[in-house]
Protein backbone atom coordinates (compact mmCIF):
# COMPACT_ATOMS: atom_id res chain seq x y z
CA UNK A 1 0.00 0.00 0.00
CA UNK A 2 2.73 2.47 0.91
CA UNK A 3 4.63 1.65 -2.29
CA UNK A 4 1.45 2.24 -4.25
CA UNK A 5 0.79 5.62 -2.66
CA UNK A 6 4.40 6.66 -3.17
CA UNK A 7 4.18 5.68 -6.85
CA UNK A 8 0.99 7.67 -7.28
CA UNK A 9 2.48 10.74 -5.65
CA UNK A 10 5.57 10.46 -7.81
CA UNK A 11 3.43 10.36 -10.94
CA UNK A 12 1.30 13.22 -9.60
CA UNK A 13 4.34 15.40 -8.97
CA UNK A 14 5.24 15.13 -12.64
CA UNK A 15 1.74 16.02 -13.76
CA UNK A 16 0.65 19.56 -14.36
CA UNK A 17 -0.73 21.37 -11.35
CA UNK A 18 -4.45 21.73 -11.67
CA UNK A 19 -6.19 24.91 -10.74
CA UNK A 20 -6.88 25.30 -7.00
CA UNK A 21 -10.60 24.75 -7.25
CA UNK A 22 -12.59 21.73 -6.23
CA UNK A 23 -15.34 21.94 -8.79
CA UNK A 24 -15.64 23.96 -11.95
CA UNK A 25 -19.17 25.27 -12.06
CA UNK A 26 -20.96 24.75 -15.35
CA UNK A 27 -21.54 27.88 -17.38
CA UNK A 28 -24.74 29.66 -16.53
CA UNK A 29 -26.41 32.37 -18.52
CA UNK A 30 -27.58 34.12 -15.35
CA UNK A 31 -25.10 36.42 -13.63
CA UNK A 32 -23.85 35.21 -10.26
CA UNK A 33 -25.71 36.28 -7.14
CA UNK A 34 -22.86 38.14 -5.48
CA UNK A 35 -22.29 38.94 -1.84
CA UNK A 36 -22.65 42.67 -2.55
CA UNK A 37 -26.08 42.05 -4.01
CA UNK A 38 -27.09 40.07 -0.94
CA UNK A 39 -25.86 42.86 1.33
CA UNK A 40 -27.82 45.48 -0.62
CA UNK A 41 -30.99 43.40 -0.48
CA UNK A 42 -30.62 42.83 3.25
CA UNK A 43 -30.07 46.52 3.91
CA UNK A 44 -33.31 47.40 2.14
CA UNK A 45 -35.53 44.99 4.10
CA UNK A 46 -33.88 44.27 7.44
CA UNK A 47 -36.13 44.66 10.51
CA UNK A 48 -33.05 45.28 12.66
CA UNK A 49 -32.14 48.36 10.62
CA UNK A 50 -35.73 49.54 10.80
CA UNK A 51 -35.67 49.17 14.58
CA UNK A 52 -32.38 51.05 14.79
CA UNK A 53 -33.77 53.88 12.65
CA UNK A 54 -36.80 54.09 14.95
CA UNK A 55 -34.42 54.30 17.90
CA UNK A 56 -32.62 57.25 16.29
CA UNK A 57 -35.91 59.06 15.72
CA UNK A 58 -36.99 58.37 19.30
CA UNK A 59 -33.70 59.77 20.61
CA UNK A 60 -34.16 62.87 18.46
CA UNK A 61 -37.63 63.40 19.91
CA UNK A 62 -36.24 62.89 23.43
CA UNK A 63 -33.67 65.61 22.69
CA UNK A 64 -36.50 67.99 21.84
CA UNK A 65 -38.35 67.08 25.02
CA UNK A 66 -35.24 67.62 27.15
CA UNK A 67 -34.90 71.19 25.90
CA UNK A 68 -38.45 72.21 26.82
CA UNK A 69 -39.03 74.44 29.83
CA UNK A 70 -41.66 73.70 32.52
CA UNK A 71 -45.19 74.77 31.68
CA UNK A 72 -46.76 77.67 33.62
CA UNK A 73 -49.79 76.99 35.78
CA UNK A 74 -53.08 78.86 35.95
CA UNK A 75 -54.35 79.02 39.54
CA UNK A 76 -57.76 79.94 40.95
CA UNK A 77 -58.79 80.02 44.60
CA UNK A 78 -62.21 80.78 46.14
CA UNK A 79 -62.27 81.56 49.87
CA UNK A 80 -64.89 82.46 52.50
CA UNK A 81 -67.79 80.53 50.94
CA UNK A 82 -70.16 77.76 52.12
CA UNK A 83 -69.44 78.57 55.76
CA UNK A 84 -71.61 79.79 58.58
CA UNK A 85 -72.99 83.17 59.52
CA UNK A 86 -71.91 85.92 57.16
CA UNK A 87 -69.90 83.37 55.14
CA UNK A 88 -72.83 81.07 54.36
CA UNK A 89 -73.23 82.49 50.89
CA UNK A 90 -70.91 84.11 48.40
CA UNK A 91 -71.38 87.73 49.44
CA UNK A 92 -68.06 87.69 51.34
CA UNK A 93 -66.19 85.45 48.89
CA UNK A 94 -62.61 86.20 47.94
CA UNK A 95 -61.68 85.00 44.48
CA UNK A 96 -58.01 84.82 43.51
CA UNK A 97 -56.79 84.10 39.99
CA UNK A 98 -53.14 83.97 39.09
CA UNK A 99 -50.31 82.48 37.11
CA UNK A 100 -47.46 80.36 38.54
CA UNK A 101 -44.20 79.96 36.66
CA UNK A 102 -41.62 77.35 37.75
CA UNK A 103 -38.00 78.55 37.44
CA UNK A 104 -35.37 75.80 37.04
CA UNK A 105 -32.12 76.47 38.85
CA UNK A 106 -28.80 74.67 38.92
CA UNK A 107 -28.54 74.06 35.16
CA UNK A 108 -31.17 71.32 35.07
CA UNK A 109 -32.24 72.07 31.52
CA UNK A 110 -28.73 72.06 30.09
CA UNK A 111 -27.99 68.85 32.04
CA UNK A 112 -31.07 67.19 30.56
CA UNK A 113 -29.99 68.30 27.10
CA UNK A 114 -26.51 66.84 27.66
CA UNK A 115 -28.02 63.48 28.63
CA UNK A 116 -30.33 63.54 25.61
CA UNK A 117 -27.46 64.47 23.27
CA UNK A 118 -25.31 61.60 24.53
CA UNK A 119 -28.22 59.17 24.16
CA UNK A 120 -28.89 60.46 20.67
CA UNK A 121 -25.25 59.83 19.77
CA UNK A 122 -25.52 56.34 21.24
CA UNK A 123 -28.65 55.67 19.18
CA UNK A 124 -26.86 56.63 15.97
CA UNK A 125 -23.97 54.38 16.92
CA UNK A 126 -26.49 51.60 17.59
CA UNK A 127 -27.75 52.05 14.04
CA UNK A 128 -24.19 51.68 12.74
CA UNK A 129 -23.70 48.60 14.93
CA UNK A 130 -26.92 47.09 13.61
CA UNK A 131 -25.67 47.60 10.06
CA UNK A 132 -22.31 46.02 10.87
CA UNK A 133 -24.01 43.08 12.58
CA UNK A 134 -26.29 42.60 9.59
CA UNK A 135 -23.36 42.61 7.18
CA UNK A 136 -21.60 39.96 9.24
CA UNK A 137 -24.72 37.77 9.43
CA UNK A 138 -25.37 38.05 5.70
CA UNK A 139 -21.73 37.30 4.92
CA UNK A 140 -21.76 34.23 7.15
CA UNK A 141 -25.02 33.03 5.59
CA UNK A 142 -23.54 33.55 2.13
CA UNK A 143 -20.43 31.61 3.13
CA UNK A 144 -22.60 28.77 4.44
CA UNK A 145 -24.64 28.66 1.22
CA UNK A 146 -21.56 28.74 -1.02
CA UNK A 147 -19.84 26.04 1.05
CA UNK A 148 -22.95 23.85 1.04
CA UNK A 149 -23.22 24.08 -2.74
CA UNK A 150 -19.52 23.34 -3.11
CA UNK A 151 -19.89 20.26 -0.89
CA UNK A 152 -22.89 19.22 -2.98
CA UNK A 153 -20.77 19.45 -6.13
CA UNK A 154 -18.02 17.40 -4.47
CA UNK A 155 -20.58 14.80 -3.39
CA UNK A 156 -21.88 14.68 -6.96
CA UNK A 157 -18.41 14.01 -8.32
CA UNK A 158 -17.83 11.32 -5.71
CA UNK A 159 -21.13 9.73 -6.67
CA UNK A 160 -20.01 9.72 -10.30
CA UNK A 161 -16.69 8.16 -9.29
CA UNK A 162 -18.57 5.52 -7.31
CA UNK A 163 -20.75 4.74 -10.33
CA UNK A 164 -17.67 4.43 -12.52
CA UNK A 165 -16.01 2.22 -9.94
CA UNK A 166 -19.07 -0.02 -9.77
CA UNK A 167 -19.15 -0.39 -13.55
CA UNK A 168 -15.42 -1.14 -13.64
CA UNK A 169 -15.79 -3.72 -10.88
CA UNK A 170 -18.74 -5.34 -12.65
CA UNK A 171 -16.72 -5.54 -15.86
CA UNK A 172 -13.77 -7.15 -14.09
CA UNK A 173 -15.99 -9.63 -12.26
CA UNK A 174 -17.73 -10.57 -15.53
CA UNK A 175 -14.34 -11.08 -17.18
CA UNK A 176 -13.24 -13.22 -14.24
CA UNK A 177 -10.45 -10.83 -13.35
CA UNK A 178 -11.77 -9.99 -9.90
CA UNK A 179 -13.69 -11.52 -7.06
CA UNK A 180 -17.47 -10.82 -6.74
CA UNK A 181 -16.70 -9.22 -3.38
CA UNK A 182 -15.19 -6.29 -5.24
CA UNK A 183 -18.47 -5.73 -7.05
CA UNK A 184 -20.35 -5.84 -3.74
CA UNK A 185 -17.90 -3.43 -2.14
CA UNK A 186 -18.22 -1.06 -5.10
CA UNK A 187 -22.00 -1.29 -4.86
CA UNK A 188 -21.92 -0.34 -1.17
CA UNK A 189 -19.69 2.60 -1.95
CA UNK A 190 -22.07 3.69 -4.73
CA UNK A 191 -25.09 3.53 -2.43
CA UNK A 192 -23.32 5.47 0.31
CA UNK A 193 -22.15 8.09 -2.16
CA UNK A 194 -25.70 8.62 -3.42
CA UNK A 195 -27.00 8.97 0.14
CA UNK A 196 -24.28 11.53 0.84
CA UNK A 197 -25.23 13.38 -2.33
CA UNK A 198 -28.90 13.53 -1.31
CA UNK A 199 -27.96 14.87 2.10
CA UNK A 200 -25.65 17.48 0.53
CA UNK A 201 -28.44 18.60 -1.79
CA UNK A 202 -30.84 19.12 1.10
CA UNK A 203 -28.23 21.02 3.10
CA UNK A 204 -27.46 23.25 0.12
CA UNK A 205 -31.15 23.97 -0.41
CA UNK A 206 -31.64 24.87 3.26
CA UNK A 207 -28.55 27.12 3.28
CA UNK A 208 -29.78 28.96 0.18
CA UNK A 209 -33.27 29.34 1.68
CA UNK A 210 -31.83 30.67 4.93
CA UNK A 211 -29.84 33.25 2.98
CA UNK A 212 -32.99 34.26 1.12
CA UNK A 213 -34.93 34.65 4.37
CA UNK A 214 -32.21 36.84 5.81
CA UNK A 215 -31.98 39.21 2.85
CA UNK A 216 -35.74 39.26 2.18
CA UNK A 217 -35.74 37.92 -1.38
CA UNK A 218 -35.16 34.58 -3.14
CA UNK A 219 -31.58 33.80 -4.12
CA UNK A 220 -31.76 33.29 -7.87
CA UNK A 221 -28.91 32.13 -10.03
CA UNK A 222 -25.53 30.69 -9.09
CA UNK A 223 -23.54 32.02 -6.18
CA UNK A 224 -20.21 33.75 -6.76
CA UNK A 225 -17.84 30.78 -6.68
CA UNK A 226 -14.97 33.02 -7.74
CA UNK A 227 -15.34 35.04 -4.54
CA UNK A 228 -15.55 31.88 -2.46
CA UNK A 229 -12.35 30.46 -3.99
CA UNK A 230 -10.43 33.71 -3.69
CA UNK A 231 -7.86 33.85 -0.92
CA UNK A 232 -6.22 37.23 -0.67
CA UNK A 233 -2.66 37.85 0.28
CA UNK A 234 -2.18 38.41 3.96
CA UNK A 235 1.11 39.90 5.05
CA UNK A 236 2.30 40.81 8.53
CA UNK A 237 -0.59 41.55 10.88
CA UNK A 238 -1.07 45.04 12.18
CA UNK A 239 -1.05 45.65 15.92
CA UNK A 240 -4.42 44.73 17.38
CA UNK A 241 -5.91 48.00 18.51
CA UNK A 242 -9.49 48.96 19.35
CA UNK A 243 -8.82 52.65 18.71
CA UNK A 244 -11.27 54.16 16.24
CA UNK A 245 -13.48 51.09 16.08
CA UNK A 246 -17.23 51.14 16.28
CA UNK A 247 -17.40 49.01 19.41
CA UNK A 248 -15.07 51.34 21.29
CA UNK A 249 -17.02 54.40 20.16
CA UNK A 250 -20.18 52.81 21.57
CA UNK A 251 -18.47 52.14 24.89
CA UNK A 252 -17.20 55.72 25.05
CA UNK A 253 -20.71 56.98 24.29
CA UNK A 254 -21.96 55.01 27.28
CA UNK A 255 -19.35 56.72 29.44
CA UNK A 256 -20.45 60.11 28.13
CA UNK A 257 -24.06 59.30 28.95
CA UNK A 258 -23.13 58.21 32.47
CA UNK A 259 -21.14 61.41 32.99
CA UNK A 260 -24.11 63.47 31.83
CA UNK A 261 -26.29 61.56 34.27
CA UNK A 262 -23.93 62.58 37.09
CA UNK A 263 -24.24 66.20 36.05
CA UNK A 264 -28.03 65.90 35.96
CA UNK A 265 -28.13 64.29 39.40
CA UNK A 266 -25.95 67.09 40.79
CA UNK A 267 -28.24 69.74 39.31
CA UNK A 268 -31.29 68.05 40.86
CA UNK A 269 -29.93 68.84 44.32
CA UNK A 270 -30.63 72.54 43.78
CA UNK A 271 -34.34 73.25 44.43
CA UNK A 272 -36.44 75.01 41.84
CA UNK A 273 -38.34 78.22 42.53
CA UNK A 274 -41.96 78.82 41.58
CA UNK A 275 -43.05 82.44 41.13
CA UNK A 276 -46.73 83.31 41.14
CA UNK A 277 -48.70 86.49 40.54
CA UNK A 278 -52.42 87.10 40.46
CA UNK A 279 -55.38 89.25 41.43
CA UNK A 280 -57.83 88.81 44.30
CA UNK A 281 -61.39 90.17 44.21
CA UNK A 282 -63.15 90.92 47.52
CA UNK A 283 -66.88 90.38 46.96
CA UNK A 284 -67.86 92.23 50.15
CA UNK A 285 -66.39 95.55 49.00
CA UNK A 286 -65.92 94.92 45.29
CA UNK A 287 -62.26 95.82 45.58
CA UNK A 288 -59.38 94.08 43.80
CA UNK A 289 -55.86 93.49 45.12
CA UNK A 290 -52.70 92.04 43.63
CA UNK A 291 -51.23 88.82 45.02
CA UNK A 292 -47.59 87.72 44.66
CA UNK A 293 -45.95 84.55 45.91
CA UNK A 294 -42.74 82.55 45.92
CA UNK A 295 -42.57 78.77 46.49
CA UNK A 296 -39.29 77.01 47.33
CA UNK A 297 -39.22 73.30 48.26
CA UNK A 298 -37.36 72.44 51.43
CA UNK A 299 -35.06 69.36 50.89
CA UNK A 300 -35.73 67.78 54.25
CA UNK A 301 -36.13 64.09 53.34
CA UNK A 302 -34.63 63.92 49.86
CA UNK A 303 -31.59 66.08 49.32
CA UNK A 304 -30.55 64.29 46.13
CA UNK A 305 -27.30 63.01 47.63
CA UNK A 306 -28.26 59.34 47.22
CA UNK A 307 -29.20 59.87 43.57
CA UNK A 308 -25.86 61.57 42.96
CA UNK A 309 -23.97 58.70 44.61
CA UNK A 310 -25.87 56.24 42.43
CA UNK A 311 -25.03 58.15 39.24
CA UNK A 312 -21.36 58.37 40.19
CA UNK A 313 -21.17 54.62 40.91
CA UNK A 314 -22.86 53.85 37.59
CA UNK A 315 -20.34 56.05 35.79
CA UNK A 316 -17.47 54.15 37.41
CA UNK A 317 -19.04 50.84 36.36
CA UNK A 318 -19.52 51.99 32.77
CA UNK A 319 -15.94 53.27 32.59
CA UNK A 320 -14.66 49.92 33.86
CA UNK A 321 -16.77 48.15 31.22
CA UNK A 322 -15.21 50.40 28.59
CA UNK A 323 -11.73 49.23 29.61
CA UNK A 324 -12.93 45.62 29.51
CA UNK A 325 -14.31 46.26 26.03
CA UNK A 326 -10.93 47.51 24.87
CA UNK A 327 -9.18 44.38 26.15
CA UNK A 328 -11.79 41.99 24.74
CA UNK A 329 -11.85 43.72 21.37
CA UNK A 330 -8.08 43.73 20.97
CA UNK A 331 -7.89 40.05 21.96
CA UNK A 332 -10.65 39.20 19.47
CA UNK A 333 -8.89 41.17 16.71
CA UNK A 334 -5.61 39.37 17.36
CA UNK A 335 -7.36 35.98 17.36
CA UNK A 336 -9.20 36.78 14.11
CA UNK A 337 -5.98 37.91 12.46
CA UNK A 338 -4.22 34.69 13.44
CA UNK A 339 -7.14 32.54 12.29
CA UNK A 340 -7.31 34.44 9.00
CA UNK A 341 -3.61 33.90 8.32
CA UNK A 342 -3.78 30.22 9.29
CA UNK A 343 -6.87 29.60 7.16
CA UNK A 344 -5.25 31.36 4.19
CA UNK A 345 -2.15 29.18 4.46
CA UNK A 346 -4.27 26.03 4.81
CA UNK A 347 -6.44 26.97 1.83
CA UNK A 348 -3.41 27.61 -0.37
CA UNK A 349 -1.85 24.30 0.67
CA UNK A 350 -4.93 22.08 0.36
CA UNK A 351 -6.22 23.86 -2.73
CA UNK A 352 -2.89 23.87 -4.52
CA UNK A 353 -0.24 21.13 -4.41
CA UNK A 354 -2.19 18.78 -2.14
CA UNK A 355 -5.35 18.92 -4.24
CA UNK A 356 -3.38 18.59 -7.46
CA UNK A 357 -1.55 15.51 -6.18
CA UNK A 358 -4.71 13.89 -4.79
CA UNK A 359 -6.63 14.53 -8.02
CA UNK A 360 -3.89 13.06 -10.18
CA UNK A 361 -3.48 10.09 -7.85
CA UNK A 362 -7.21 9.33 -8.00
CA UNK A 363 -7.21 9.63 -11.79
CA UNK A 364 -4.30 7.22 -12.13
CA UNK A 365 -5.91 4.83 -9.65
CA UNK A 366 -9.17 4.75 -11.62
CA UNK A 367 -7.33 4.07 -14.88
CA UNK A 368 -5.08 1.49 -13.30
CA UNK A 369 -7.98 -0.30 -11.59
CA UNK A 370 -9.93 -0.51 -14.84
CA UNK A 371 -6.85 -2.05 -16.48
CA UNK A 372 -6.31 -4.47 -13.61
CA UNK A 373 -3.04 -2.91 -12.44
CA UNK A 374 -4.29 -1.70 -9.04
CA UNK A 375 -6.56 -3.31 -6.50
CA UNK A 376 -9.94 -1.99 -5.48
CA UNK A 377 -8.59 -1.04 -2.06
CA UNK A 378 -5.97 1.10 -3.77
CA UNK A 379 -8.71 2.85 -5.73
CA UNK A 380 -10.85 3.41 -2.63
CA UNK A 381 -7.87 4.78 -0.72
CA UNK A 382 -7.00 7.22 -3.51
CA UNK A 383 -10.59 8.45 -3.87
CA UNK A 384 -10.97 8.77 -0.10
CA UNK A 385 -7.80 10.86 0.00
CA UNK A 386 -9.15 13.06 -2.79
CA UNK A 387 -12.47 13.51 -0.99
CA UNK A 388 -10.74 14.40 2.27
CA UNK A 389 -8.48 16.91 0.49
CA UNK A 390 -11.42 18.57 -1.23
CA UNK A 391 -13.35 18.71 2.02
CA UNK A 392 -10.36 20.21 3.81
CA UNK A 393 -10.08 22.83 1.08
CA UNK A 394 -13.72 23.82 1.49
CA UNK A 395 -13.34 23.90 5.28
CA UNK A 396 -10.27 26.13 4.93
CA UNK A 397 -12.15 28.50 2.63
CA UNK A 398 -15.04 28.67 5.09
CA UNK A 399 -12.65 29.38 7.97
CA UNK A 400 -10.87 32.03 5.92
CA UNK A 401 -14.00 33.93 4.88
CA UNK A 402 -15.54 33.60 8.34
CA UNK A 403 -12.41 35.02 9.98
CA UNK A 404 -12.32 37.75 7.37
CA UNK A 405 -15.95 38.68 8.14
CA UNK A 406 -15.35 38.68 11.90
CA UNK A 407 -12.21 40.79 11.52
CA UNK A 408 -14.09 43.28 9.35
CA UNK A 409 -16.84 43.46 11.96
CA UNK A 410 -14.41 43.96 14.82
CA UNK A 411 -12.46 46.69 13.03
CA UNK A 412 -15.46 48.55 11.59
CA UNK A 413 -14.52 52.22 11.90
CA UNK A 414 -16.78 54.45 13.94
CA UNK A 415 -18.87 56.78 11.77
CA UNK A 416 -18.62 60.53 12.20
CA UNK A 417 -21.91 61.00 14.04
CA UNK A 418 -20.75 63.41 16.74
CA UNK A 419 -21.54 66.45 14.65
CA UNK A 420 -24.76 65.11 13.16
CA UNK A 421 -27.91 66.93 14.07
CA UNK A 422 -30.33 64.81 16.09
pLDDT tens digits for range 35-72: 999 999 998 888 999 999 999 999 999 999 999 999 99
**Average pLDDT score over the chain:** 85
* pTM of the entire predicted model: 0.80
Instruction: With cut-offs at 50, 70 and 90, classify the pLDDT of residue 417.
Output: low
Residue 412 per-residue DSSP state: P
pLDDT tens digits for range 297-356: 988 888 899 999 999 999 999 999 999 999 999 999 999 999 999 999 988 888 878 877
pLDDT tens digits for range 285-306: 888 999 999 999 988 888 899 9
- 187 vs 73 pLDDT, higher one: 73
Residues 367, 199: Cα–Cα separation, whole Å: 29
The answer to whether 22 and 150 are in contact (CB under 8 A) is yes
> What's the confidence (pLDDT) of residue 314?
96
Burial tier of 416 (Cβ tally within 10 Å: 0-12, 13-18, 19+):
exposed
pLDDT tens digits for range 217-230: 999 889 998 999 99
Pairing of strands 273-282, 94-103: antiparallel
Domain residue ranges in the chain: 2-12+55-69+104-269+304-410
Which homologous superfamily is 2-12+55-69+104-269+304-410 in? Outer membrane efflux proteins (OEP) (1.20.1600.10)
Residues 117, 138: Cα–Cα separation, whole Å: 32
Q: Hey, CA dihedral for 184, 190, 191, 192, is it positive or negative?
A: positive
Residues 172, 174: Cα–Cα separation, whole Å: 5
Instruction: With cut-offs at 50, 70 and 90, classify the pLDDT of residue 212.
Output: very high
Q: How many CA atoms lie within 13 A of 284 on its CB side?
A: 10
> What's the confidence (pLDDT) of residue 253?
95
pLDDT tens digits for range 242-289: 899 999 999 999 999 999 999 999 999 999 999 999 998 887 788 899
> To the nearest whole percent, how much of the chain has pLDDT over 90?
55
Quick check: 128 pLDDT over 90? yes
Residue 235 per-residue DSSP state: -
> What's the confidence (pLDDT) of residue 175?
75
Question: Helix, strand, coil proportions of the chain in percent (round to 5)?
Answer: 65, 10, 25
> What's the confidence (pLDDT) of residue 416?
81
Amino acid sequence: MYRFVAALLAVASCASIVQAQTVVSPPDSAPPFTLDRALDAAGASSPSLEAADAGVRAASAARTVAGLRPNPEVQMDVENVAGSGPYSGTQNAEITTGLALPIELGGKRSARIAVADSRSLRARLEAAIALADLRERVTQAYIAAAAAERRMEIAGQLANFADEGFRAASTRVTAGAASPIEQQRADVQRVNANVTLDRARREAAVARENLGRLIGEPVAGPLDSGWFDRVGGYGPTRPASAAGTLVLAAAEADVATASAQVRLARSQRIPNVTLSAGARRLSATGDTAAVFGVSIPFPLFNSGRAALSQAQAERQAVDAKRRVTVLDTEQAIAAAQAELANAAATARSTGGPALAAASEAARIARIGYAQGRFSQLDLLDAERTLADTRGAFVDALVAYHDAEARLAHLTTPAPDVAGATP
